[in-house]
Structure 1
Amino acid sequence: MPTEPTVIRRADYTPPDYRVDRIDLHVDIRDGETIVTATLAVVGNPDRAANAPLVLDGQDQTLIYLKMDGEDVPPCRYVVQPERMVVEEVPDRALLEIRTRIHPEKNTALEGLYKSGSMYCTQCEAEGFRRIAYFIDRPDNMALFTTTIEADKASCPVLLSNGNPVGEGDLPDGRHWAKWEDPFRKPAYLFALVAGQLAPVKDSFVTASGRTVDLRIYVEPGNEDKCGHAMESLKKSMRWDEEVFGLEYDLDIFMIVAVGDFNMGAMENKGLNVFNAKYVLAKPDTATDTDYQLIEGIIAHEYFHNWTGNRVTCRDWFQLSLKEGLTVFRDQEFSADMNARSVKRIQDVRGLRAAQFPEDAGPMAHPVRPDSYIEINNFYTATVYEKGAEVVRMYHTLLGAEGFRKGMDLYFQRHDGQAVTCEDFCVAMEDANGVDLTQFRRWYEQAGTPHVTARGHYDAAAKTYTLTIEQTVPPTPGQPEKQPALLPMAMGLVGSVSKADLPLQLDGENAAQGTDRVLRVTETRQSFTFVGVEEAPIPSLFRGFSAPVKLEAGYSADDLTFLMANDSDEFNRWEAGQALARRLMLDMVAARSAGREMAVADSFVDAFRRVLTDEGVDPAFRAQALALPSEGDLGESMATIDVDGIHAAREHLRRVLAERLKPEMTTIYHAMAVRGVQLDGPAIGKRALRNLLLGYLAGLDADGLALAEAQFQSAQVMTDSVAALVCLGDSTDAAGDRALAAFHERWRGNALVMDKWFSIQAMSKRPDTLSRVKALMGDPAFSLKNPNKVRSLLGAFAAGNPTGFHAADGAGYRFIADQVIALDSMNPQVASRLFSPFARWRRFDAARQALLKAEIERVLAAPGLSKDVYEIASKSLAG
């Protein structure tokens, strides 16, 4: 591990000196080793420097031979380095044949070709293909791939790769082969190969133009009955993309493979999507409602990549949000159309605030399009994905659905089959709509979350309302000074008497422009004056979270209570309730710190009661509205995070609400019961509300705990079983241990369900949680080599248990740092993600800062540290 690994900078981009026009790949899989023969048709860049060598990326493979145009290349003309091969004297056009030996069985990094159980599979994004064959492994090298796979027929009867199948046959010694051809150019990161004992679940889809596409989901034998939801989600995605964006699938076959060992959620390889099994397999008794929704959304996400990522891809990895932010936006819109739109928006914003806002405020802050990186795997971040999706959503908000569609059409028309940049996308939107988005591009350039303050003044005599907006973006590493961004602010004015949205007419306009409109905030300080305002209004700003900002609007508690009850925008109704709860709990934290009693205002309890008992409101929305801001959310509102104070205040408020509203909560809990196995929207909403109330009641007294135990014993769907087990797992009562033991006994043979069991215990509020987590590492169902197990136990503890991880004695820090060091030699990508919570060490009190910093320094000093973890550790200390 070098002391200072190479920093890759966007400003240094240059096209490659050569490109691979096509590659014929022969992969001979045998026990203990795999022989890969890659035949590359290489073409020189006319603009390359004289005598420029051909540089091929390659890692963890042994060269057997190298030939050029049929002749052996003498050793004096090439050199093999740890991460590349350099070949001299390569003509403008050449045919290279490179044979290498790799060992998938030993590949614990799960990048390139590796073995998961009895199955061989690949993960090549971002730079995994170089572990399979020597190649120009960068997104702007788009080549035509033909892949021939050879393996033992008994152990690997299924042989899959990208594109369409073009041949297969038997070989001597019980072996066989299959050949696949992808007619579309692609970068190497989209290559995929799977070989093993797999059972197909088959269906078909008829496209808008009348073509029939063969659909297949491959799973381990015995899991065929868990694929129905994934298949239906795929077909819905295909139809939605045709109807909303006019995008039709382009191959004869679309395949999904469910894999048990996978670093990510899924991968959009052309025509052959490789998925983490947890995002494919589902039955009501093994998967929760959340699992079902995630499967639907992730299936859609990877399918939508066929156009936004595959047909049009990234020029370089700095443009990652070009495909990921755009495709996250598309899957969010799909899920909103399939389910309750306002609830989906709330869920997405919760996720953004939980992961991306802290990232923007920490040492790893970076723009949506980063300027530099050491290890690209560290930039698969909430900023690139979720904030990137918000940037795309702002295009949609500014241009409208029709204008956005025009921009998308032009984008594909211009760039189909190309590797392009974020600017290319922006220019397509500009040209299609005749607008100038120069200022908007700052969203790609500046890190940090804009802070917006809003103040209004109503002139009753003139019947005008003036709204003044100020925006600032805090300094972030490397960017001390920021320019104002273009903020699309969807807004309305709610009459304080009529309780209805008022007509919106800006000074200078001839007539009102409706009751809901989008204002363009472009200056550091900007005022808007509305005329003809007949009554004093309460402003409803950034409706639908129309820009990813932190808003301080000067609302009183009465204003927030009013908006909770009367805002026509459901997102802002939820937002008002969250702001009210957040303000109350932060006051309670301050009171506790000062030695005063933590008081809960009657007005808050009354407001909570009104939402709880409002039968005219959808249960799914009520479940969101009644869920208090998380401990992480509260911490983001404090200059120094008071771990213990936040936990104490939130638990106290939960108890007070349960005490004062126990009769109403109990009645509604029983009223929300769903009979039998129902998976439709109304049933999901009822379960969400019912299980939220169970959490309040079970934390209160023995009656609530008895409700949880009864629900656990009678649950017909996993959603209800897990919700009850969470309540019981938080308790030190013997009922909790009984339930955990019973769950383990029933599901110990199901890897995905056991992940839930691990997570529930890792996030438990019990005081002995750390010792239990340590013990669980010895459970036969746990393996440090499996990313799902690491995330479900260690990741859940580090990121999902604030009081456990941030225990005042530093034991949580030491434990997780130990696991990071152990993991780093096996799977650096998973190790760096586990280490991420340490990056924000400066946000805590002095004692915790010292403990966190010591662990970061200890990890940084570990011998042989990977680039992945080094980057997180070094930037954390520097930031």
Structure 2
Amino acid sequence: MREGQASVIRREDYTAPAFWIDTVDLTFDLDPAKTRVLNKMTLRRNPDVAAQPLRLDGEELNLARVLVNGQGTSFKMDGNQLVLENLPAEGPIELEIFTTCNPAKNTKLMGLYVSNESFFTQCEAEGFRRITYFLDRPDVMASYSVTLRADKAKYPVLLSNGNLVEQGALEDGPNGPRHFAKWVDPHKKPCYLFALVAGQLVAREQRITSRAGREHLLQVYVRPGDLDKTEHAMNSLMASVAWDEARFGLSLDLERFMIVATSDFNMGAMENKGLNIFNTKYVLANQATATDADYANIESVVGHEYFHNWTGNRVTCRDWFQLSLKEGLTVFRDQEFSQDLAGDLSARAVKRIEDVRVLRTAQFPEDAGPMAHPVRPDSYIEINNFYTVTIYEKGAEVVRMTQTLVGRDGFAKGMARYFERHDGQAVTCDDFASAIADANPDSDLARLLPQFKRWYSQAGTPRVQASGSYDAGSRSYTLTLSQSCAPTPGQASKEPFVIPVNLGLITVDGRSLPLQLEGEAEAGPSSRTIVLTEASLTLRFVNIETEPVPSLLRGFSAPVVLACDYTDAQLLTLLAHDTDPFNRWEAGQRLGLKRALHFINSPAQPGEAKVLDAAYIEAMRQVLRHPTLDAAFKELVLTLPAETYIAEQLDVVDPQRVHAVREAMREQLALELLHDWQWAYETHHDSGGYRPDPVSTGRRSLTGMALTMLCLAARDTGDVVWPGKTYQRFKDAGNMTDRFNALNALVNSGHELAAPALERFHAQFKGEALVLDKWFALQAGTCDRGGQVLPAVRQLMAHPDFNLRNPNRARSLIFSYCSANPGAFHRPDAAGYVFWSERVMELDAINPQVAARLARALDRWKKLAEPYRSAAREAIARVAAKPDLSNDVREVVSHALAD
């Protein structure tokens, strides 16, 4: 749909479909320019819904034939819908629809499309209607059989969902031999889980035996030449299968499970039943081409899509408002999977901190912006715009809170109850929460369930205010917690949430105190969870021998903003002694944030005065030199709060000042800890043979940070030794992590060796698409000295290796500049905003989903100081004025401009 045709879809308007589809038999004659699709369906009327015409969704299809029970029938078109009236009132209805489509021209990458001369599909959320006319909604679950026919030489591999039941030769076509493959999925599914793949592919295969004693074939399909990059993906898949059986008793339910990688994909991956289609970014890895972060992401995403087999496929969404039912739950599951694989407490904490950083830097701003919506939205115009960090990451935090409230074992019982009740059904977020509560009738969740569900219905990030006081005479400590939540679009006021607050009390010398509330007979453990349900709650802890430091929201036990007037001395105590690794890291972040905000709000200019004081510098030195702390944890503590996170703490944001202050903090850390960074490099730079395990990864991470700091310091000291060492390490590196860390250090310090290093890197990896994405992204995301980044980005758009139609390449360059480099994007001359508006409109004509995600780079424009604010609004209005804008982008910019 284009302008004037958009309509608002509301959750309250949900009604069951007037027809059910029981079976679907699809036959594809695959041709890039004209694919023929024969769709034979068995339907029946829904007896619970008043009789009405059958309305089937379709988009960009050529309709050739419609038969009802073998006979021609009358029909009409209503916009994009095929409408059939006067269908039989009783019994099954045999409906046959024959259409054609043009996959080669499908730049939206939704439905059936061609990438690198192979066929792929993407049907979530509403792409199946671009393949055939259908009831394109998730609550219509059918049994599918699929026959694929194609040129054997061009498309030797033919894949679809389920089990392969037949394959063989066909009569030769005009271009030579043809063949077919027939696939049958034994499980009913909604159409968004349909998939087909056809092309020149090779596979890594692994046979496994499940705990139940059943044999399964696992396959990872890639283009020829990439097979050596599939070992880690296969290992991740095997680990996922084993973990889901061990943790939740959920077994693989198909004879085979397939992963296929394509370089043209709008998302990260897709959980189609038994045939997961992945962005190559989350499949391909070897030590020469992939970083430690790539390895971790592959493990996480492979796990995520496999876990969807039960949480999303076996039990799916009644409607798209329930999207977090599958996505929030499955993100939680993939987070738990990665933490369990990480093993020790320190590595688990690193993973938890990384997840919370995403929440704070991406989801909290979304909660405070024009596209704020509840975990279960109430309305939308374009469902693709609601694949958001709120649905995924905040949704995962809501699931995590249910586990906190019922315990790990109780959560496993609740999951078992969920599948007992709803296997094979399309259900709601309420159904999930009720299953967990009903399996744990004596839990806080069961007692508070109606109130807990406000997490699904209320938007915004709750704010928890904490204040404490110690009374030496009575040896008691009083802690008051209060909650509030700011208005969001469409929700002016909020009712209190259920907020689990995990807390402890620590003495100045680092001892954890046993916790005993007034009225309790004896002291309990030193950490406990308090459930805040009212606007305010006062707790009185007794037998507290000395004034404690409160350690609050341990493990980030709820997705809230914690406001507590910690003194520097208290934060330094937590940083040095807290037994909770998350709060230890958080103390360091708060210390850095306090100093950044103080300087930003002062009249001083970076360079005229130092941003960081001696106490902070010394605290960071103690962390860096600590004899037992994990290297990965040190790197996280020493990483300053992000510019976007700092900006969210301000009422009015001058992006250039935020950038300048944070850069001054980085440079000061580089210079004043110069000898400590040298020590860190020399101590950690040799991590032995490449292994993507937590310890080795942490060593490489801290080494990379040390090199960056040493190259930054060299800008001021004039040192040539460390930049030279860095360039040599770049050339000699035995793995991509070390190589790219060295390249990043040179580029982000603006050293003259950056240019030859970039040239050498491109020459070495010009045939590796995913590595070139890193090359583009690094240059677009680098520190902007003298306004050089935007001209470089414009120049890179003309590079022979840049392709706007490839989502990965577009994201690597354009998104890295507009969404991830605020210091370069928010230019006083507004040139960054002009570039953004040009790219949004250009991408919208090619791929509206990608364009809409880019459009959100200016969600928070109203917080900007002048002249940025007016210039940003003008750029958004320029996009909004485009007459043929897609619904995807129009919804985003309309929300942005709304009062």
TM-score by length of 2: 0.96
Q: 560, 571, 576: which one pairs with 1:549?
A: 560
- Cα pair distance change 1:4/1:588, threshold 3 Å: farther
- Residue 795 of structure 1: aligned partner: 815
Q: Give the structure 2 partner of residue 72 of structure 1.
A: 72
The reply to whether residue 53 of structure 1 matches residue 42 of structure 2 is no
The amino acid of 1:734's aligned partner reads E
- Counterpart CA distance in 2 for 1:731 and 1:418 is 55
Match of 1:507 in 2: 518
The equivalent of 1:158 in structure 2 is: 157
**Residue equivalent to 1:21:** 22
SS of match in other structure, 1:215? strand
CA contact (8 A) 2:3 2:886 kept: no
SS across alignment from 1:172: strand
Report which stretch shifted further, 844-853 or 725-734. 725-734
Report if aligned partners of 2:632, 2:697 keep a CA contact under 8 Å in 1.
Answer: yes
Task: Tell me how far apart the structure 2 counterparts of residues 471 and 431 of structure 1 sit (CA, whole Å).
Answer: 27
Q: Deviations over 1:744-798 (max 9, x none)?
A: 1111111110000000000011431111111111112211110000110001101
Deviation by residue 1:691-728 (Cα, 9 ceiling, x = unmatched): 11211111111344223212211211111111111122
Return the alpha-carbon distance in structure 1 between the equivalents of residues 839 and 663 of structure 2: 30
The amino acid that maps onto 2:39 is: A
Alignment of 1:193-272 (within 5 A): 193-272=196-275
The 1-side partners of 2:603 and 2:591 are apart by 19
1:467-546 superposed matches below 5 A: 467-497=479-509, 499-546=510-557
CA distance in 1, matches of 2:700, 2:821: 24
Residue 9 of structure 1: aligned partner = 10
CA distance in 1 between partners of 2:79 and 2:778 (Å)? 42
1:31 Cα shift?
4.2
Q: What corresponds to 2:759 in structure 1?
A: 741
- How far apart, in 2, do the equivalents of 1:828 and 1:792 lie? 17
Q: How does 1:796-811 map to 2 (within 5 A)?
A: 796-811=816-831
5+ residue gaps, structure 1, are none
Query: After alignment, is 373-382 or 582-591 more displaced?
Result: 582-591
Q: For the structure 1 residues 722 and 257, does the alpha-carbon distance in structure 2 shift closer, same or farther, using more than 3 Å as the test?
A: same
Q: How does 1:85-164 map to 2 (within 5 A)?
A: 85-91=82-88, 92=90, 93-164=92-163
Asked if the contact 2:21–2:140 (Cα under 8 Å) also holds between the matched residues in 1, the reply is: yes
Spell out the pairing of 1:629-640 with structure 2 (5 A cutoff).
Answer: 629-640=641-652
Deviations 1:299-347 (A, max 9, x none): 0000000000000000000000000000000000010111210000000
2:341 matched residue in structure 1:
338
Which of residues 699, 721, 735 in structure 2 aligns to 1:686? Answer: 699
Q: Does 1:448 align with 2:460?
A: yes
Assess, with a 3 A threshold, how the Cα gap between structure 1 residues 37 and 577 changes in structure 2: closer, same or farther.
Answer: same
Which residue does 2:872 correspond to in 1?
Answer: 852
Q: How does 1:364-763 map to 2 (within 5 A)?
A: 364-434=371-441, 435-436=446-447, 437-497=449-509, 499-592=510-603, 597-673=609-685, 674-701=687-714, 702=719, 703-763=721-781
SS across alignment from 1:20:
strand
Cα deviation, residue 84, structure 1: 1.2
Counterpart residue type for residue 822 of structure 2: P
1:548-579: CA deviations, max 9, x gaps? 11111110011001100010000000000000
Q: Which residue of 1 aligns with 2:852?
A: 832
User: For 2:604 and 2:76, how far apart are their aligned partners in 1?
Assistant: 65
Aligned-pair RMSD on alpha carbons?
1.2
The Cα shift of 1:593 comes to: 5.7
Which deviates further from its counterpart, 40-49 or 56-65?
Answer: 40-49
Deviation at 1:2, TM superposition (A): 2.7
Cα deviation, 1:388-445, whole Å, max 9, x if unaligned, reads 0000000011110011111111000000000000000111111111123111101001
Aligned equivalents of 2:413, 2:467: Cα separation in 1 = 36
Q: Which deviates further from its counterpart, 488-497 or 441-450?
A: 488-497
- Which amino acid counterpart does residue 202 of structure 1 have in structure 2? E
In 1, the alpha carbon distance for the partners of 2:161 and 2:543 equals: 62
Mapped partners of 1:184, 1:675: distance in 2: 47
Shift of 1:839: 1.7
Task: Write the distance in 1 (CA, Å) between the matches of 2:616 and 2:693.
Answer: 33
Q: Provide the C-alpha distance between the structure 2 equivalents of 1:31 and 1:842, rounded to a whole number of angstroms.
A: 46
Q: How many angstroms apart in 2 are the aligned matches of 1:47 and 1:90?
A: 17
8 A contact 1:694–1:707 mirrored in 2 = no
CA contact 1:795–1:834 (8 Å) conserved in 2: yes
Q: How far did residue 504 of structure 1 move?
A: 0.8
Distance 1:608 1:540 in 2: 20
**Relative to structure 1, is the Cα distance of residues 483 and 795 closer, same or farther in structure 2, using a 3 angstrom cutoff?**
same
Length-normalised TM-score, structure 1: 0.98
Q: Choose 86-95 or 828-837, whichever is displaced more.
A: 86-95
Instruction: Write the letter of the residue equivalent to 1:44.
Output: R
SS state at 1:143 partner: strand
Q: CA deviation at 1:56?
A: 0.5
| Counterpart Cα distance in 1 of 2:3 and 2:638 | 51
**SS of match in other structure, 2:30:** strand
Provide the C-alpha distance between the structure 2 equivalents of 1:668 and 1:700, rounded to a whole number of angstroms.
15
Q: 1:4 to 1:603 in 2, by over 3 A?
A: farther
Q: 2:788 aligns with which of 763, 768, 781?
A: 768
Q: Distance in 2 between matches of 1:199 and 1:617?
A: 44
SS at match of 1:477: coil
Residue 38 in 1 paired to residue 45 in 2?
Answer: no
- Aligned counterparts of 1:159 and 1:757: Cα–Cα separation in 2: 34
Structure 1 stretch displaced more, 349-358 or 671-680: 671-680
Give 1:680 deviation, angstroms.
Answer: 2.5
Cα deviation for residue 67 of structure 1 reads 0.1
Letter matched to residue 873 of structure 2: K
- Provide, for residues 247-283 of structure 1, a one-character-per-residue CA deviation record: whole Å limited to 9, x for no partner: 0010000000001100000000000000001100000
8 Å CA contact retained: 1:591, 1:597: no
Separation of aligned partners in 1, 2:420 and 2:412: 12
Distance 1:278 1:696 in 2: 29
Bigger shift: residues 570-579 or 833-842? 833-842
Amino acid at match of 2:349: S
**Matching residue's letter, 2:705:** L
Q: Which moved more, 1:771-780 or 1:390-399?
A: 771-780
Q: Secondary structure at the match of 1:551?
A: strand
Aligned partners of 1:713, 1:31: CA distance in 2, in Å?
A: 43
| 1:712/1:218 CA distance change after superposition, 3 Å | same
Tell me if structure 2 keeps the 8 A contact 1:593–1:645. no
Q: Secondary structure at the match of 1:488?
A: strand
- The answer to whether the 8 A contact 1:592-1:598 is kept is no
Report how many residues are paired.
874
Alignment pair present for 1:288 and 2:291? yes
User: What do residues 44-86 of structure 1 show as CA deviations (whole Å, max 9, x unaligned)?
Assistant: 0113223x10011111101000000000113xxx112442111
Partners in 1 of 2:604 and 2:85 — Cα distance? 69
Q: Percent identity?
A: 50
1:108-148 CA distance string (max 9 Å, x none): 00000000111100000000000001110100000101100
Q: CA deviation at 1:594?
A: 7.7
- SS of residue paired to 1:433: coil
Tell me which amino acid in the other structure corresponds to 2:204. V
The alignment partner of 1:30 has SS state of coil
